[in-house]
Amino acid sequence: MAERRPSTPSDHERWREAFAVAPERDGDFSTLGGVDVAPLYTEVDLPADRLASIGLPGQPPFTRGVYPSMYRGRLWTMRQFAGFGTAEETNERFRYLLAHGQTGLSTAFDMPTLMGHDSDSPRSLGEVGREGVAVDTLDDMTDLFAGIDVGEISVSMTINGPAAVVLAFYVAAAEQRGVPAERLAGTVQADILKEYIAQKEWCFPIDPAMRLLGDMIEWCSREMPRWHPVSISGYHIREAGSTAAQELAFTLKDGLTYVEQAVARGLDVDDFAPRLSFFFNAQIDFFEEIAKYRAARRIWARELRETFAARDPRSWLMRFHTQTAGVSLTAQQPLNNIARTAIEALAGVLGGTQSLHTNGYDEALALPTEDAARIALRTQQIIAHETGAASTIDPLGGSYFVEALTDELERRAYESFRRIDELGGMVEAVKQGYPQREIAQASWELQRRIDSGRRIVVGVNAFADDGGEPTPTLRIDPAIERKQIGRVQALRARREGAAVATTLGELREAAASARNLMPPLLEAARAHATEGEIVRALQDVWGRYAETPVF
């Protein structure tokens, strides 16, 4: 076979002339993030010297992956998100997923738990167990992981404002089973800045919330060597309507801000940075997502090495979990979501994720049924074992398109960094509403493209039909709320009230001082204080937060 002659700039110019007069279909050829995509990419877009600089997997700048062998050595962790009803119901779902081949647990909490309210609070009415599991007490945490070896399996917990409280429950529950904190592996999300930016689930004003996160990072760096004390989360930023470039920039800047805070406390960056992890969205724009992950690894490695002088190579590695996009799912023709989720999951895999959650096809309608959860898990297993995607490391490395798009997203991220620095850093930018405004604008612009038909969503604004038979959905029995309220009230009746009052008083004193709050939080958990009582004790000292909305 004759060797293919590489194209030259003159070849490229001749192609451009031919393309200029050739027919082209109408359509929106930008990515979801608004990056205009060229009709063809060649070495003109990525010169040889630039192509040679992408490196190798497991070596700086880690564009091609954080480990030398990647999936040739070990597949990503299949960590399906689960949680609904009471601790017992979710424990059953955990066991179901583990029996079907899941390799890690990921816990979804209900809205009252996320907001720091007990199930019997008037603010919790109608929400208990609806969008996740209700966890009010140490007993709930114990029941949630009953019969599961928490010393062996890694556990992720998606919670932010009261993350330190829930972590204290988890540590205390493990202690009861003879498993010390040093053996526990997993992640608590805890990324508080993204709450004020995007998800809007907070318990405290920004500054004390940052202090609480810093206390948790500091304590975990000493006591929980296998634990990731914060999962820096771009997922919710993207779900709020951001572009890929905004998700990349705001997420990394949040992470760099947490590093700054920890270093300012006197921690050595290499004592905690290896246990920082990230959580990204996998949206439907396939190549843009892959490029986003590659750019993220490169930026993080550079900043940790050059800005923070990290010496340990583990500190340079940006390891991340991926979840397919909830906002890409449609209530119309929901079975189409199986295809969407598979494409998004493949983007996460080709982008080099360390763990992955795939959404159920029915999640635009309700919590996933068991059938939907099983199909979502099987989607990952098919990618892993049937497609060949895990057979070679970084199969898209060197693609003119992917590498050029990676460079463009990196450039846009640094533009955002400069703007945030001009505002005084990420905390001050959040207080001024800068990222919130940027996301609102991007969301509005994307919706305009969908409403006008320039951005096609199959089954919604094109190729629509009557939808056929209704999709069966999971419904939460209202009796679950009454059951959970009874549980928490029964606990209050039988516990030692004086011990609870003492630990809550000590917690208030610590909150008013500069002491690390994790030890008094653990004491309150062991005394069976409820989450709501602990949160209110901190609010007695710190107050509450009220957002100034931006449009």
Angle between helices 286-302 and 336-350 (to 10 degrees): 30
- The model's confidence at residue 53, banded by pLDDT at 50, 70 and 90, is confident
CA atoms within 13 A on the CB side of 346: 20
Q: What is the model's pLDDT at position 33? A: 67
How is residue 154 written in tokens? 């890694």
What's the rounded mean pLDDT across residues 213-229? 95
Q: What is the model's pLDDT at position 265? A: 94
Coil, strand or helix at 19: helix
Q: Decide if 4 is inside a domain.
A: no
Residue 6 has pLDDT above 60, yes or no: no
Mean pLDDT of the chain: 93
Q: Where are the beta strands (DSSP E) in 203-302?
A: 227-228, 230-233, 276-282
How is residue 193 written in tokens? 């800045």
Q: What percent of the chain has pLDDT over 90?
A: 81
How is residue 9 written in tokens? 């700039």
- The model's confidence at residue 1, banded by pLDDT at 50, 70 and 90, is very low
Closest CA to 212 of 161, 286, 147, 177: 161
Say if residues 139 and 509 touch (Cβ distance below 8 Å).
Answer: no
Q: What is the model's pLDDT at position 36? A: 83
Q: Which is it for the CA torsion 284, 290, 294, 297, positive or negative?
A: positive
Say if residues 539 and 529 touch (Cβ distance below 8 Å).
Answer: no
Q: What is the model's pLDDT at position 2? A: 40
Q: Decide if 183 is inside a domain.
A: yes
Q: Where are the beta strands (DSSP E) in 72-165?
A: 77-78, 81-82, 105-108, 155-158
Q: Decide if 174 is inside a domain.
A: yes
Q: What is the model's pLDDT at position 230? A: 94
Q: What percent of the chain has pLDDT over 70?
A: 97
Q: What is the pTM of this model?
A: 0.92
In the chain, how many domains are there? 1
Q: Decide if 545 is inside a domain.
A: no
Q: Decide if 223 is inside a domain.
A: yes
Q: Provide the domain limits for residue 147.
A: 66-452
Q: What is the model's pLDDT at position 473? A: 80
State how far Cα 417 lies from the chain centre.
20
Among 15-24, 165-174, 287-296, 432-441, the range scoring the smallest mean pLDDT is: 15-24
CA atoms within 13 A on the CB side of 437: 9
Residue 101 has pLDDT above 90, yes or no: no
Residue 3 has pLDDT above 60, yes or no: no
What's the rounded mean pLDDT across residues 517-546? 97
In angstroms, the CA 122 to CA 332 distance is 34
The CATH number of whichever domain residue 181 belongs to comes to 3.20.20.240
**Separate counts of helices (H) and strands (E) for the chain:** 22, 10
Coil, strand or helix at 43: coil
State how far Cα 91 lies from the chain centre.
22
Coil, strand or helix at 299: helix
Q: Decide if 336 is inside a domain.
A: yes
Q: Decide if 284 is inside a domain.
A: yes
- The model's confidence at residue 368, banded by pLDDT at 50, 70 and 90, is confident
In angstroms, the CA 328 to CA 185 distance is 31
Higher model confidence: residue 390 or residue 30? 390
Using CA atoms, how far residue 27 sits from 24, 30, 31, 328, in Å, is 9, 9, 12, 19
Higher model confidence: residue 16 or residue 164? 164
Encode pLDDT of 448-492 as tens digits.
999 999 999 999 999 998 766 788 887 778 899 999 999 999 999
Q: Decide if 385 is inside a domain.
A: yes
Encode pLDDT of 403-421 as tens digits.
999 999 999 999 999 999 9
